[in-house]
Chains A and B, each alone.
Chain A
Amino acid sequence: MLAIALACAQAPKPETVGAATQQLTDDAGRNVTLPARVERVITLAPNLTEIVFAIGAGDRVVGNTSYCDYPPEAKNVAKVGDTLQPSLERIVALRPQVVLISTASQLEVFTQQLQHQNIAVFVTDPHDLDGVFRSIEQVGRMMDQDQQAQAVVQKLRERTAAVEKAVKQAPAVRAFYQVSGEPLYTAGREAFVTDLMRRAGAISVTGDVPGAWPRYSNESALAARPDAIILPTGGSMGAANSNVAEALRNSPAVQAGRVYKINDDHLARPGPRAVQGLEEMARALHPEAFKQ
């Protein structure tokens, strides 16, 4: 018995010994040592899955979450649970060289457990669009797909610049981002979507509120008198969050008919499709700027 136990404890040693390695610093400030080219990766959030596929390394994703539904091929990858409750056993069984985590999922204990299993963990935590681009480049480096990643980022930067140029002359719209109506949640200072709104020619009325997704006061929402309301809904959200919160029913935004439903998958996932969300938001807020 003891011999078996010992053998098991020693068996899954990482294959990094002797092989070429690379050192990367993740968004949590941790130094992560990885093989020079990662061959097996598990992505624990949909935006990370989308990033790995976008840089042409989708075939090296050996596991992802039940929320990972884009691109369609991502659905065929082995599922390790959802973002909040991944299965440690299944992750270990899939023998990843690195597990990519989005801090939105707050998995501190889980990260430690993975490290005890000698599985490297890389944390991404973008607070703005540049942070998203940096995530893409970092993932490109670890997957040895630098060029592809840079090409992707280059394209995204061009599209972003085009949007910013188009809305530059338009007056910024005071907008409220409704994450959910009851209870009322919004996007705060640390949410990357607040940066996305700025670039789309809007000023988030809750852009100074501490935190990423604060629970927000009904009366403050009413008093903010937003001229537009962004409702992230549809996509994997289904019909959820498709109604304006009670407190905003008489807002200037509703009276002017400026309530814009935007695919939540484009706004809530800090990945390549965030730029699509940016374009959709800018076109909704400033239709006149895109008439050509």
Chain B
Amino acid sequence: MTKRVTLRRTLIACGVLAVALVVAIVLMALIGSEALPVRASLCAIGSLGTNECGLSRDQYDILFQIRLPRILLAAAVGASLATAGASYQALLRNPLAEPYLLGVSNGAAVGTMVALVFFGANEWSRPVLAFAGALVATLAVYQLARGRAGATPERLILAGVIVTTFLSSVIVFVTTLMDATRIRSFTFWLLGDLSGTTKTLLPVAIAMAVLGTVALTLNARSLNLLMLGERDAFDLGVEVGRVRIVVFVVASLLVGSSVAASGSVGYVGLVVPHLVRLSLGSDNRISIPAAALAGALFVIVADTVARTIIAPRELPVGAITALIGAPLFIYLLKRV
């Protein structure tokens, strides 16, 4: 495939997904536990919040202070996790590599927990330590998985399981030491919860999602060659070590910023890249940016279900993504 054709296909696929994403953001903003007047809401969203279009103060606040920030966070988290998953899968040549299954999400969760316990007041400490936790977990899994024969897919998943369970017990240990009121909010958060959108963490999550996707897309050609095997890629001129570091660091940043803002939303990084590859092929120059957009779509829809299905009560979004993701995972496992 020539470069130009790839570019065109990428632009078409991403263009379609981007339009779908904008439509989804607007549509899902109309749905919630409180009914808002549709036409006025559309008018207010169309004006980007500058015109109230007859919405009451409360309705305006619900739309712009609660619902839209939450939807944007869902988009950022979905894009981050899906992109991270897509690039792990390419780099590690493993269709099952995923932030949650590899223990990277749990690493970030432990980091966030440390931040909450020791630097509770400082919101910035959360994404920073989440990133550190994600990176440490990534490196631990990678080192564990690298046997004499290289990192086979099975070894990698086993290493991920070991690191995940180890970190889970760290989490259980710390939550046991916490007092009862904090445990409750914590268990909810661990399953992935987008309700706690803050003015600090939302811009961080969005910025990371965009920059991370761009950075990984720029390495997509190298990742394509890496899918042939590290040695072949090296022979074809890929700086394997550099690409590996870029993917590990950027994916850790993506997972860290989304876990710090929303806890561990599982299966997004697995399901979305697979669906994207099934429909668009496995060229990373298309599938990485497309996975970002499709991941955003997926989590926005899943979270809309989570916040409306038993309204005015709520479910954690992670429960919904797992409910959709686990059966899909089994289906994909049978195909691999």
Which A positions have Cβ atoms within 8 angstroms of B? 67, 82-85, 180, 182-185, 206, 209-211, 214-220, 222-223, 225, 237-238, 240-241, 247, 250
Contacts and interface: CB of A to CB of B under 8 A. Distances in A.
Majority DSSP secondary structure for residues of B touching A: helix
A220 B311 contact: yes
A209 B312 contact: yes
Contacts of B315: 215
A94 to B, nearest CB: 22
A237 B33 CA distance: 30
Interface in B293-315: 307, 311-315
Contacts, number: 75
Interface string B196-215: 10000000000000000000
Contact of A223 (B34, B65, B314): B34
**Nearest 5 pairs between A and B by C-beta?**
A220-B312, A217-B33, A223-B34, A219-B62, A217-B312
B235 interface: no
Given A217-B34, A217-B307, 10 more contacts: A180-B184, A182-B195, A183-B185, A183-B193, A206-B312, A215-B313, A220-B311, A220-B312, A222-B65, A225-B58
Contacts of B67: 219
B195 A218 contact: yes
Contacts of A210: 313
**Tier of interface size on chain B:** 20 to 34
Interface stretch (B3-11, B173-181, B221-229): B173-181
A84 B188 contact: no
B32 interface: yes
A46 to B, nearest CB: 11
Contacts of B176: 85
Interface centre among B179, B184, B313, B314 (most CB of A within 10 A): B313
Given A182-B185, A214-B313, A240-B179, A220 B33 contact: yes
B61 interface: yes
B188 A223 contact: no
Contacts of B66: 218-219, 222, 247
B203 to A, nearest CB: 16
A217 B312 CA distance: 5
A185 B182 CA distance: 12
B62 A222 contact: yes
Given A217-B312, A223-B58, A240-B179, A180 B34 contact: no
B181 A241 contact: yes
B248 interface: no
B195 A183 contact: yes
A218 B314 CA distance: 9
A217 B313 contact: yes
Nearest to B188: A183
Given A182-B196, A183-B193, A240-B182, A215 B188 contact: yes
B189 interface: yes
B34 A219 contact: yes
A238 B65 CA distance: 30
